[in-house]
Amino acid sequence: MAKKGKTAIEPTRDEDYPEWYQQVVKASDMAEKSPVRGCMVIKPWGYALWENIRHNLDDMFKSTGVKNAYFPIFIPLAFFEKEAEHVEGFAKECAVVTHHRLEQSPEGGLVPAGKLTEPLIIRPTSETIIGDSFSKWVSSYRDLPILINQWANIVRWEMRTRIFLRTSEFLWQEGHTAHADKEEAVRRTRMMLNIYARFAEDYLAIPVMKGEKTFSERFPGAVNTYCIEAMMQDRKALQAGTSHFLGQNFSRASDIRFQSADETEEFAWTTSWGVSTRLIGGLIMCHGDDDGIILPPKIASSQIVLMPIVRKQSQRQEVMEYTENLAKALKEKRYGGRRLSVEIDDREIGGARGWEWIKKGIPLRVEIGPRDIAQNSVFVARRDQTPKEKTSIGRERFIIQIDHILDEIQHNMFNKALAFRKKNTVSINHREEFYQFFTPKDQKKPEIHGGFAMSHWCGEEACETRIKDDLKVTIRCIPFDNEREDGECICCGRPSRERVVFAKAY
């Protein structure tokens, strides 16, 4: 438990933000490192959060006609070689299978044997293997559109890893669609990005900016990449979701052809889009405080924990009956599209019990003791408020108002995050000011800098590259809601028609 005058998590965000993040993940019991370098074990509290993300996103996808399928984790090397830009983009991250069995060596250890005639790539993404299936499924315009999503795991051999944010293996969904019409494919690309933005803001309580990636930041092989970008509490950006218009690049590589209504042979127009367990890392960094994570009620692993307080054994039966009846009544209620999830923690471990749930980020902690039962009430603490803030509420009133209480927490979290982003987003017109904005003021805290800079860019990749080399700052997106405005490139001073979002990023 937190000591008097101290926080539950040490170091604090201000003292060492990267280490704070690691300690929050550990204290919340969400995940831990695995024996395999760069991989993670997602524990029940963390996996329940992912299940809720998956459940809600899955419903949103299906409401637009998307259906789920599954494709192999192994991809023939030849498939990647068909699309040159794609393989170049992923070559350094690929894990490759070259053998199909183990044998005992003369020295007594196990060694790979049975060399494959063609190496297999463990999927870093599935455009090529899914494209092969699409080529078999499509022959006529009547077969289109195909709207497919899969929930799967991905392997990208990362050199520098951090749980949830960047791991060698992670969980995600990847949607893939094929269309007879270019405009329809572009609309689908934007539609899926809008779903991601709505989910991030309505469920994760994370405000996002929607926009297009520059040429150098596009998904390998894409014609256009659209993204949502969120600001974390260290003022870095997190790419929270992407949607790609692939044009006919992958359909040409995979030979996805169809006979049009005019009886001409055409290549399909394709899209892909995805989010991953990185969302959990973003949620922690956007909403966490120095006592642990704070979970938005709509997506929380559980929304409520009931903590019976029994000081005498003779009181136990009465307190537990009251607690269990309250849990039953709450579980009949629905919130965020599902039944309320309620925990009962009857462990007799004093104040440490409450602090465990604070660190785990559960939205509501409810204490129930003999005095509360006598008044037919409960003692409620909200995670979006300080740990000492507790309110006595009548039992029936609490049940009736539970939706309102959870909604208020959800809205408070979003508004706080939005206010933080607005405070740390500035328009900068001069190169010297721009460089100062992204230069740490405290060399002992090199990660802490300005935030989001809205500045002009001439459109030249050379300027983008120079800023990246000088400051490790990238163009996060060209916002969709940009207003045209004449200005000068922040790097070279040449004319520019609009501002873009510059930031350091995860």
The alpha-carbon radius of gyration of the chain (Å, integer) is 26
Q: Which long-range contacts (CB under 8 A, 24 or more apart) does 78-83 make?
A: 78/118, 79/121, 79/128, 79/129, 79/131, 79/132, 79/254, 80/121, 80/128, 82/128, 82/253, 82/254, 83/127, 83/128, 83/221, 83/249, 83/250, 83/253
CA torsion sign, 407 to 408 to 413 to 415? positive
Residue 175, both tokens:
């949607």
Q: In what order do the strands lie in the sheet with 110-122?
A: 74-76, 110-122, 95-104
Residue 473, both tokens:
């700052």
Q: How far apart are CA 311 and CA 203, in angstroms?
A: 39
Q: Are 401 and 330 within 8 A, CB to CB?
A: no
**pTM for the predicted model, two decimal places:** 0.95
Contacts of residue 4, Cβ cutoff 8 Å, sequence gap at least 6:
none
Residue 290, both tokens:
């120095």
Instruction: Give residue limits of the domains in the chain.
Output: 17-287, 304-407, 425-503
Residue with tokens 């973003």: 282
Secondary structure of 343-399 in HEC code, one letter for each residue: EECCCCCCHHHHHHHHHHCCCEEEEECHHHHHCCEEEEEECCCCCCCEEEEEHHHHH
pLDDT band for position 158 (50/70/90)?
confident
pLDDT for 441 beyond 70: yes
Summary mean pLDDT of the chain: 95
Q: Are 297 and 409 within 8 A, CB to CB?
A: yes
Look up the CATH number of domain 304-407: 3.40.50.800
Same fold, 17-287 and 425-503: no
For the chain, percent of residues with pLDDT exceeding 90:
90
User: Quick one: average pLDDT of 290-300?
Assistant: 98
CA torsion sign, 464 to 467 to 468 to 469? positive
Q: 23-27, 140-144, 294-298, 350-354 — which is least confidently predicted? A: 350-354
Query: Furthest-apart CA pair in the chain: how many Å?
Result: 84
CATH fold of 425-503, please? Translation Initiation Factor IF3 (3.30.110)
For position 447, what pLDDT does the model report? 62
Provide the CB-side half-sphere exposure for 381 (13 A, CA): 20
Question: Domain 17-287 belongs to what architecture?
Answer: 2-Layer Sandwich (3.30)
Q: Are 276 and 170 within 8 A, CB to CB?
A: yes
Strand partners, 305: 343, 365
